[in-house]
Structure 1
Amino acid sequence: MTKYKLEYIWLDGYTPTPNLRGKTQIKAFDSFPTLEQLPLWGFDGSSTKQAEGSSSDCVLKPVRHFPDPARTNGVLVLCEVMMPDGKTPHPSNKRATILDDEGAWFGFEQEYFFYKNGRPLGFPETGFPAPQGPYYTGVGYSNVGSVARQIVEEHLDLCLAAGINHEGINAEVAKGQWEFQIFGKGSKRAADEMWMARYLMQRLCEKYEIDIEYHCKPLGDTDWNGSGMHANFSTSYMREVGGKEYFEKLMAAFGDAREDHIAVYGPDNHMRLTGKHETASIHTFSWGVADRGASIRVPHSFVNNGYKGYLEDRRPNSMGDPYQIASQILKTISTVPTEVSAAA
């Protein structure tokens, strides 16, 4: 029997954006445990805004698990929060109620800032560094510093070793700003892996004494970029049938549901979706071919392939909950009939 370190990870009850939480228990197994072997585990919900002190019990239900490459015999256990009966989803448990479709593919582009001593990594103690321009996909100490690339490379290795479908990294437009991409088939799977990638990044940064700043516009009303979490999406029908008529109906549905999308695309998005810095206004909906300033960017490949493939919703922000983002996208798609002609 081997003793495994089981790190139970969940989302707390803070709003509008939940925080990641984690605690460890040790269990002995003959080999790496299956999901079914992982027990329910209680926690004090009064400390995470998920219960009152007079009745504080909440329950963690394992739903996904991954090897933990940072620990010997470690297991990362992603959990849903349940009520004390262990069966009823807690009101904060968004994962349990979202729409899911294994034929729906999602690719999330997580932007974020490294922060140290209350300012982006690489910023001087007062004022600002040189203007934006050389930092995006930049190379060299003056552009990316001495530690950021070390962190993102280590994070990439951790994600891949854990079996998370991490698809790429790059330095972003602002000093101290970076991005990683996560892809998954099915809204739950994609969102699960985004939350786990966030967890691994935040835990990794502890040893560097650096924080991750997810706020979508941490530098306020300045010419410095904000952070998004662009959502690339497709369904089986979009990839295999598509067509111009269907696409136009789909865009009309997204326009009609604009407020529903904005409501779950992350807090403070009005600070980011200003119509500047390659964003569409929060008050409008638009689409455009290769247009980074549109609400939904349509790749040339989509049009050239007979209006088939994937689309990119550029409105979700870096603080958004990928469970709710993916679910809302699927809700809107579900309102569009698929019996229309596929002719371009």
Structure 2
Amino acid sequence: MCEVLNYKQEPVATNNRRTCKAVMEEVKEDRPWFGMEQEYTLLDVDGHPFGWPKQGFPGPQGPYYCAVGTGNVYGRDVVEAHYRACMFAGVKIAGTNAEVMPAQWEYQVGPCEGISMGDHLWISRFLLHRTCEDFGIIASFDPKPVNGDWNGAGCHTNYSTEAMRQKDGIVAINKAVEKLSKRHFSHIKAYDHSKRRRRCRLHVIIYLF
């Protein structure tokens, strides 16, 4: 994991880590914790969801979430391999589960403090793509991989400061929620980059733990 700089040793336009690190340094006394819930979909090389009938669809959503058993889950061997790769690499992976749509999964990373959250999340994504390569399938983070009445995919953010984790932390939580409410649409704009498809899976609620 590294930052990308230009020949002047300045961060390139897409290097948002430098900006994030500066912000995290400003609030380090608050000891911000993050926990990320990353959803993704496994696809065949033809772009069709892994395990789905090639000329149709599986049964309606309902029996797939946190499921077990053939016909309910697709690609658990990939999920298990990715989990072990993360553990071996030192990524703070903390759980995994089958999601609402068949061939869709989620894993959790954290809690991590400050900028380390982004580092662990990005490496976990890299390892997911690398693991899928060995199995000859694709991992997609597309927010709406299948049109129609099929679950989308996103990344929930769980967040807290030290004050929120102390006795009577609800006071600090309510203050944070009030501040967030005043910047609601600014946050959507920053996340969305005007891509309407992504709005269907934007998680504007920050879960506080």
Query: Whole-Å Cα distance in 2 between the matches of residues 107 and 141 of structure 1?
Result: 30
Match of 1:296 in 2: 205
Aligned partner of residue 59 in structure 2, secondary structure: coil
- The amino acid that maps onto 2:175 is K
Change (3 A) 1:133 1:186: same
More strand by share: 1
Q: Residues 137-156 of structure 1 correspond to what in structure 2 (within 5 A)?
A: 137-145=66-74, 148-156=75-83
Uncovered stretches (5+) of structure 1, i.e. residues with no partner? 1-77, 283-293, 299-309, 312-344
1:107 aligns with 2:35: yes
Any idea what the Cα deviations from partners look like across 1:33-92, whole Å, max 9, x if unmatched?
xxxxxxxxxxxxxxxxxxxxxxxxxxxxxxxxxxxxxxxxxxxxx11000113x321121
1:120 aligns with 2:43: no
Q: Aligned residues: percent identity?
A: 37
Match of 1:92 in 2: 14
Tell me the CA shift for residue 130 of structure 1. Answer: 0.3
Q: Residues 24-35 of structure 1 correspond to what in structure 2 (within 5 A)?
A: none
Match of 2:4 in 1: 81
Tell me the CA shift for residue 169 of structure 1. Answer: 0.7
Deviates more, 1:259-268 or 1:148-157: 259-268
- The amino acid that maps onto 2:115 is K
Structure scoring higher RCO (CA < 8 A, sep ≥ 6) equals 2
- Maintained 8 Å contact 2:42/2:137: yes
Query: Whole-Å Cα distance in 1 between the matches of residues 67 and 145 of structure 2?
Result: 21
Q: Which has the larger radius of gyration?
A: 1
Match of 1:202 in 2: 129
Q: Residues 5-20 of structure 1 correspond to what in structure 2 (within 5 A)?
A: none
Match of 1:265 in 2: 191
Give the TM-score normalised by structure 2.
0.87
2:98 to 159, 171, 195: 171
- Maintained 8 Å contact 1:108/1:229: yes
Tell me the CA shift for residue 269 of structure 1. Answer: 6.8
- Maintained 8 Å contact 1:216/1:268: no
Give the TM-score normalised by structure 1.
0.54
Tell me the CA shift for residue 245 of structure 1. Answer: 4.5
Pairwise CA RMSD of aligned residues? 2.2
Query: Whole-Å Cα distance in 2 between the matches of residues 124 and 264 of structure 1?
Result: 37
Any idea what the Cα deviations from partners look like across 1:208-258, whole Å, max 9, x if unmatched?
1111111111112x1111011000000112112555544333222111111
- The amino acid that maps onto 2:205 is I
Q: Residues 277-296 of structure 1 correspond to what in structure 2 (within 5 A)?
A: 295-296=204-205
Deviates more, 1:262-271 or 1:105-114: 262-271
Aligned length: 202
Match of 1:193 in 2: 120
Uncovered stretches (5+) of structure 2, i.e. residues with no partner? none
Any idea what the Cα deviations from partners look like across 1:159-192, whole Å, max 9, x if unmatched?
1111110001111000110001111432310110
Change (3 A) 1:82 1:241: farther
- The amino acid that maps onto 2:158 is N
